[in-house]
Amino acid sequence: MSNETHVTSLTLETIEKALQGSAVALRSITGYQPAGGQGDKVFPPTYEGGAYAWEERILDGVRVKCVLLDSVQSQANRMELEIYDAWESGDLNVPVITVAFDDEELHKRFTVSSLHAPHRLADALLRDSEINGKPFKETEIGKALRSSDPSHATQIFRYCPTALLFGMWHSTELEKNTLGVKFARAIVSEIIGIDAVPGVKTGSRLDPAGITKSSGPIFKAVDGGWTLDETKAVKEKDKPVLWEKEGSDKAEKGTPAMINHGNIPPSISVIEKGEPGGVSIRKAEQTTVISLPALRRLRFPLDGELRSRPEVDVAARTVLAALALFAATGIRERGADLRSRCLLVSTTTFEWELLDKPMEEPKRYTLTRSEALQLLHDAIAKAKDVGIRWKEEEIVFNPSDELMELVKRSQNVVSTHKNDGKKTAKTKRSSGEA
């Protein structure tokens, strides 16, 4: 008898039965290699001090040195953008709440949606916005946010279902001695590099104009730029101020390198643990897990009902599971171009496993993005049939006057920084801008 597990297409009925039963999770594990081939360097994300996130993990009973290539938070952002792109293209009608920063005095106009904001419906950008002159807190959405919890998740489903998938904590809402509305993540995903070895850092630049170090000195000009003319330079204690970059070597003050001109001699340095020089890996692995118990904890009483009904709970949970499957499948098909010099190619097929009974071999399912989208549409239709639905029209808020002014000042700081780095740093410290 063959030990090979049969792979079938994932159906809506399978998801519904899993949610009604005792199944633990839907899981997808995908293997990757660098696009340049095995042994090619990839560059992980850097954290404070330019460090990589190194750790040892136990794989097949052996301690293995690993490095984080894409965090849970980053993967959640990618999945939310997949949902947003589907909404923007018209493939999917999901709730979207937008704050529009549209003012002539802004250097850059922009919008932020509930699928972009890091804290989703509980984000400060929404909290400090208004609609038709009514503050967010006093709107139907604001009131729904404060009155929701896992046993009353209907309103969050209606306005921001992704908060029920990727988690949300309204930590600034300290009413009645509570810690605010809190929903745990129901889906987690990350990509790690396995058997990771630190690389070396190299640097060089040949200036095509042949500008030499001795051609300076470079002074900070009164008009905000740079100058070679001492008479046009900023003065401190009657002396012209040499141009320097924040954090640069004092010996380099006033050299063309400070304004990005001149040659950089070729250099090489062995990279110690935590310092950026890229890594080589045996393989990369993406693991995505959808927690079915987390979805089962959510209940959806309809308007006017004290308790939820089982058929409504199952329908809403199925929509959320289908939404998670669509987002996770979509980012896999989109490709793992994580950042500059971190392009990965899949070495395994995209499959989902249903972890059900203990010691039982997981059932395996195939699922494409288009199939996942159809599952989601079918789940939404069934949810409507039992009376639970989400908001299908975009809701647009405007920032409060105070928030708009804060953004204007911040953009002015950034604009000033381009012309006068030292002045900007001083402004940030005095105004509290980070």
Mean of pLDDT values over 338-365: 95
Asked whether residue 374 falls in the same domain as residue 305, the answer is yes
Asked whether residue 132 falls in the same domain as residue 173, the answer is yes
Establish if 378 belongs to a structural domain: yes
Distance CA 316, CA 330 (A): 21
Of 238, 253, 270, at which residue does a domain stop?
A: 270
Asked whether residue 97 falls in the same domain as residue 128, the answer is yes
Of 243, 270, 297, at which residue does a domain stop?
A: 270
DSSP H or E segment with residue 278: none
Distance CA 315, CA 52 (A): 42
Asked whether residue 154 falls in the same domain as residue 132, the answer is yes
Establish if 306 belongs to a structural domain: yes
Beta-carbon contacts of 378 under 8 Å, excluding residues fewer than 6 positions away, are 12, 322
Asked whether 8 and 366 are in contact (CB, 8 A), the reply is yes
Asked whether residue 168 falls in the same domain as residue 239, the answer is no
Asked whether residue 59 falls in the same domain as residue 184, the answer is yes
Give the chain's mean pLDDT: 88
Q: Which domain holds residue 352?
A: 7-197+274-399
State residue 179's pLDDT score.
Answer: 53
Residue 406 has pLDDT above 70, yes or no: yes
Of 270, 294, 326, at which residue does a domain stop?
A: 270
Asked whether residue 207 falls in the same domain as residue 356, the answer is no
pLDDT in tens, 100-117: 999 999 999 999 999 999
Total structural domains within the chain: 2
Residue 203 has pLDDT above 80, yes or no: no
Between 270 and 58, the higher pLDDT residue: 58
Establish if 408 belongs to a structural domain: no
Mean of pLDDT values over 69-96: 97
Write down the pTM of the prediction: 0.84
State residue 224's pLDDT score.
Answer: 83
State residue 213's pLDDT score.
Answer: 80
Strands 7-9 and 187-194: unpaired
Establish if 144 belongs to a structural domain: yes
Establish if 369 belongs to a structural domain: yes
What number of other Cβ atoms are within 10 A of residue 311's Cβ?
14
Asked whether 50 and 276 are in contact (CB, 8 A), the reply is yes
Asked whether residue 37 falls in the same domain as residue 164, the answer is yes
Distance CA 388, CA 373 (A): 19
Asked whether 97 and 159 are in contact (CB, 8 A), the reply is yes
Asked whether residue 101 falls in the same domain as residue 83, the answer is yes
Asked whether residue 154 falls in the same domain as residue 95, the answer is yes
Establish if 153 belongs to a structural domain: yes
Establish if 418 belongs to a structural domain: no
Asked whether residue 159 falls in the same domain as residue 79, the answer is yes
Asked whether residue 205 falls in the same domain as residue 192, the answer is no
Establish if 405 belongs to a structural domain: no
